[in-house]
Amino acid sequence: MHLSEQDAAAIYARACLSWYGGKAAQIVRAQIKHLRRTGDESGVKAWNEVAMQLSKAHQNRRIRSENGKLY
């Protein structure tokens, strides 16, 4: 089975939501800042993808909640 970087970021974003709940976005942003300070541009790119997927996952979760279908 082959996972793209986008798929992996989506999986990790959902895991972050599970692990950290409402603080997930804050933790991901802190990781991006840390990587940027250390000059790890490939890490920044990967974590930015996680942040984007986290935003999508959070939005989807909110929509399901509003429709009464939170899983």
pTM: 0.81
Side-chain-side CA neighbours of 62 within 13 Å: the count stands at 8
Amino acid, res. 4: S
Residue 58 lies in a domain: yes
Ramachandran area for residue 3 (φ above 0: left; ψ -120 to 50: alpha; else beta): beta
Contact 25, 58 (CB under 8 A): yes
Residue 69 lies in a domain: no
The pLDDT tens digits of the residues spanning 17-70 come to: 999 998 999 999 999 999 999 999 999 999 999 999 999 887 776 666 667 655
Range of the domain at 30: 5-64
Residue 48 lies in a domain: yes
